[in-house]
Structure 1
Amino acid sequence: MTAPPDARLPDGFVVALDPRVRRRDAGATLLGGSPLRLLRLAPRARELLAGDGLTVADPTTAALAGRLLDSGLAHPRLVPVTPAGVTVVVPVKDRTAGLDRLLTAVRADPQTAAVPVVVVDDGSADPGAVARVCAAHRADVVRHEVARGPSAARNAGLRTAGTTAVAFLDSDCVPRPGWLGVLAAHLADPRLAVVAPRITALAGDGSGWVGGYEDAVSALDMGRHPAPVAPLSGVSYVPSAALLVRRAALGGGFDETMRVAEDVDLVWRLAGAGWRVRYEPGAQVDHQHPRATGEWLRRRAFYGTGAALLAQRHGSAVAPVVMSPWSAAAWACVLLGGRPGLVAGAGVLGVATRTLARRLARPGESAPVGLAATLVVRGTWAGGRTLARSVTRHHWPLVLPLLAVSGRARRLTLLAALADGVGAWWPHRRDVDLPRFVAARRLEDLAYGAGLWRGALRARDARALLPARPPAG
């Protein structure tokens, strides 16, 4: 992995505050980002950020814009460009119909009609069929006689491309018109290594029992908000189904020993080296989601096995529960039950609020108790949500024996399962009915958890099952 260049954002680069960011203290303090953070602005920075946007014009504004980007408080406001110096790389094995559909979409888009395309045939049973599809769409072919896996296929395409940037597209994807111009605009940031589009469901792909759920909350869909990508943040990874990458940043590329979670590993290595990775939902690529229940559950379990591999390489970045000690203590008290537990939990949060208020206090000013209380409550609520999810997803094999002997455990688990399901369903209530959503979510979590434990047992490494503290910010 190469180090990023020591270069600032260029003049004319524009960033805009995330609409969810809250200004406090007459604009002197910004609250937002993921994980939630508080950024106090110096008088000069406050003057420069009088509005909701900032245009880079000198080293000072470049430094401020970079800080806002990296904290998740602001995002680039970029005008789509005509892609130049980009090669599209498509790894494929046997999926010739999907490949033809993908290449048809690439050539039909005026932005990508003439871009070079490299298809890496990773051991297809009928290489002639792949070659014919590629010839029909003016795509070059790199052939692996024996399948070496998607990481090796992408790396082969990365080495073959002679351009500054490479756009990876899986053969079960169909990019929407204009996708590459939106992503390519991000390359104006010299420290950007990877930018990913939003992955959405392919229209007309059928429904199936899990169709509505998968369309609403696919594991490949990172949502409608742009974000920096980093471990333990709101968008902690982006899938390799569709990526635009700067070749100079990737070095050797994907880890070819990994058959799962190689995209997460790549992103985290880049972030650790100091590169920026961004998620850009303004560009969209459709994906053919699995529709058969068995295939869907097997894929979720397969994803779960990757956590142990990530833990071996990145430690607590893969933690299933992220919670501060204060929040953990408060929830432990509440779970003890009854009025004493509630009173003890409230007491813990009160002490945490007072401690944080003292830390936030400026010299000569009173402690901001209200702000501290807001941060403590929001952090504790977020921690509780991850804890509830872990009961039905990551740690259900530990919970299962308790259900057989404890009525209280059964009640709490049922409450966690329903609360998590309803809370996740509410933003998508117009797209899928509640019973189907909750049932699918619980099945997905059981499958992922089974894969998680299988991977941990196989690796003889429990770190993928352990909680972690929130990152400092």
Structure 2
Amino acid sequence: MSDLLPTFSIIVPTYNRPRGLKRCLQAIEALNYPRDLFEVIVVNDGGDQSLAEIVAEFEPRLFLRYVVQQNLGPAVARNHGARLANGRFLAFTDDDCAPASSWLQKLAVQLMAEPRKMAGGYTRNALHRNPFSITSQLLVDFLYHYYNQTESRARFFTSNNFAVAADLFWEVGGFEELMSLAAGEDRELCDRWLEHGLGMVFVRGAVIYHAHHLQLFSFWRQHFNYGRGAWLYRWLRSQRKDGVMHLESPTFYFKLISYPLTMAQDIRAFLLTAMLLFTQTANATGFLFQQFSRRSSKKKLPVREPVQ
């Protein structure tokens, strides 16, 4: 059976989360996939916390490579790891994620059947008592429900759970390195992927567990940055098309905010609706901040060149 399975390079960008990285590597070590068919590339994005001891703990048991770059953001870190990759397919996850044991096997089955498609899995929140983490997960659930209703014709995956053929990843240009925040770079890549006429398929059984602990300020900052990333994504998209920045319809935002009420109409659902409204307020603030920052700087963003 292992002779039929493809090789993978699992790329994990990390920044100042040593405990999260250790949990991630423990989960990767437990993958139900032949050990000689995957490697792990950990890219430290200029964090100031030492990770060498954590990585060294796993080196005897995994084909593992550890590299350090200056702090340039997760998009650059993922591209850095992809340049070092030897696998036929690239699988991306993050340092606050723990893949289920069947994660890589589920992605492999799909990619063997349709190697020219991007395969993305399902993310579950691992912090069931954190209301901010619950709300962020609910937002992702809505986006997957909205964009991926037909699993064989998906349109959006988060960057912590998808896999692609390495050659096709570079054919479309990799992650957009102008997007230095952990915000919107996945959406921008998916958009370009589809523009190249390539397909996406949602693999519901390819599960990772996301443990991103949030408090009020970090929750606001996360969604503020999502707004900044959304502006840059839409600006980049406009440069490839008609020069006009297009937004989603008002119906999209109404459906997003009211999403909890489609599942229940109790006090918890109303509280989650209020928190989703809070995320969109932060998002809109970040969007406007990025727009006015560009105008005030009077700088023209560089035209995208393919990443190699």
Q: CA deviation at 1:273?
A: 1.3
The SS at the match of 1:138 is coil
Checking the alignment, whether the CA contact within 8 Å between 1:90 and 1:169 is kept in structure 2 is yes
In the alignment, which residue of structure 1 is the partner of 2:62? 138
1:274-313 equivalences under 5 Å are 274-313=197-236
Specify whether residues 221 and 198 from structure 1 end up closer, same or farther in structure 2 by C-alpha distance, changes over 3 A only: farther
In the alignment, which residue of structure 2 is the partner of 1:105? 27
In the alignment, which residue of structure 2 is the partner of 1:255? 176
In the alignment, which residue of structure 2 is the partner of 1:210? 132
One-letter amino acid of the counterpart of residue 184, structure 1: A
Specify whether residues 287 and 220 from structure 1 end up closer, same or farther in structure 2 by C-alpha distance, changes over 3 A only: farther
1:325-340 equivalences under 5 Å are none
Whether 2:277 is the aligned partner of 1:442: answer yes
In the alignment, which residue of structure 2 is the partner of 1:402? none
Checking the alignment, whether the CA contact within 8 Å between 1:121 and 1:130 is kept in structure 2 is no
Whether 2:259 is the aligned partner of 1:424: answer yes
* CA distance, structure 2, for counterparts of residue 211 and residue 306 of structure 1: 19
* CA distance, structure 1, for counterparts of residue 16 and residue 68 of structure 2: 12
**TM-score, with normalisation over the residues of structure 1?**
0.54
In the alignment, which residue of structure 1 is the partner of 2:160? 241
* CA distance, structure 2, for counterparts of residue 197 and residue 296 of structure 1: 24
1:320-469 equivalences under 5 Å are 320-322=247-249, 385-386=251-252, 389=254, 421=257, 423-429=258-264, 433-460=268-295
One-letter amino acid of the counterpart of residue 97, structure 1: R
Q: CA deviation at 1:269?
A: 1.4
Which structure would you say has the larger RCO, counting Cα contacts within 8 Å and 6 or more residues apart?
Answer: 2
* CA distance, structure 2, for counterparts of residue 197 and residue 435 of structure 1: 28
In the alignment, which residue of structure 1 is the partner of 2:6? 84
Specify whether residues 215 and 430 from structure 1 end up closer, same or farther in structure 2 by C-alpha distance, changes over 3 A only: farther
Q: CA deviation at 1:145?
A: 4.5
Checking the alignment, whether the CA contact within 8 Å between 1:199 and 1:222 is kept in structure 2 is no
One-letter amino acid of the counterpart of residue 168, structure 1: F
Checking the alignment, whether the CA contact within 8 Å between 1:213 and 1:432 is kept in structure 2 is no
One-letter amino acid of the counterpart of residue 435, structure 1: F
* CA distance, structure 2, for counterparts of residue 225 and residue 431 of structure 1: 26
* CA distance, structure 2, for counterparts of residue 297 and residue 180 of structure 1: 33
Whether 2:24 is the aligned partner of 1:189: answer no
* CA distance, structure 2, for counterparts of residue 198 and residue 226 of structure 1: 14
Checking the alignment, whether the CA contact within 8 Å between 2:107 and 2:163 is kept in structure 1 is yes
1:144-159 equivalences under 5 Å are 144-159=68-83
Checking the alignment, whether the CA contact within 8 Å between 2:231 and 2:287 is kept in structure 1 is yes
Structure 1 unmatched ranges of 5 or more? 1-80, 230-234, 323-383, 390-418, 462-473
One-letter amino acid of the counterpart of residue 151, structure 1: A
Specify whether residues 213 and 146 from structure 1 end up closer, same or farther in structure 2 by C-alpha distance, changes over 3 A only: closer
Whether 2:98 is the aligned partner of 1:174: answer yes
1:67-82 equivalences under 5 Å are none
- Could you report, residue by residue, the CA deviation over 1:404-459 in whole angstroms, capped at 9, with x for unpaired residues? xxxxxxxxxxxxxxx975x4123442897133112212211111110111122223
Specify whether residues 96 and 262 from structure 1 end up closer, same or farther in structure 2 by C-alpha distance, changes over 3 A only: same
* CA distance, structure 2, for counterparts of residue 149 and residue 221 of structure 1: 23
Checking the alignment, whether the CA contact within 8 Å between 1:209 and 1:293 is kept in structure 2 is no
Checking the alignment, whether the CA contact within 8 Å between 1:123 and 1:147 is kept in structure 2 is yes
Specify whether residues 301 and 220 from structure 1 end up closer, same or farther in structure 2 by C-alpha distance, changes over 3 A only: farther
- Could you report, residue by residue, the CA deviation over 1:285-325 in whole angstroms, capped at 9, with x for unpaired residues? 11113431211111011011112212222127963334xxx
* CA distance, structure 1, for counterparts of residue 266 and residue 141 of structure 2: 17
One-letter amino acid of the counterpart of residue 321, structure 1: E
One-letter amino acid of the counterpart of residue 246, structure 1: A
Specify whether residues 83 and 123 from structure 1 end up closer, same or farther in structure 2 by C-alpha distance, changes over 3 A only: farther
Percent of matched pairs sharing the same residue: 22
The SS at the match of 2:283 is helix
One-letter amino acid of the counterpart of residue 272, structure 2: F
* CA distance, structure 2, for counterparts of residue 294 and residue 137 of structure 1: 39
**TM-score, with normalisation over the residues of structure 2?**
0.80
One-letter amino acid of the counterpart of residue 210, structure 1: F
Q: CA deviation at 1:154?
A: 1.0
Checking the alignment, whether the CA contact within 8 Å between 2:235 and 2:245 is kept in structure 1 is no
For the aligned residues, what is the CA RMSD? 3.0
* CA distance, structure 2, for counterparts of residue 294 and residue 302 of structure 1: 12
One-letter amino acid of the counterpart of residue 147, structure 1: N
* CA distance, structure 2, for counterparts of residue 221 and residue 104 of structure 1: 29
* CA distance, structure 1, for counterparts of residue 248 and residue 161 of structure 2: 28
* CA distance, structure 1, for counterparts of residue 53 and residue 7 of structure 2: 29
Checking the alignment, whether the CA contact within 8 Å between 2:46 and 2:70 is kept in structure 1 is yes
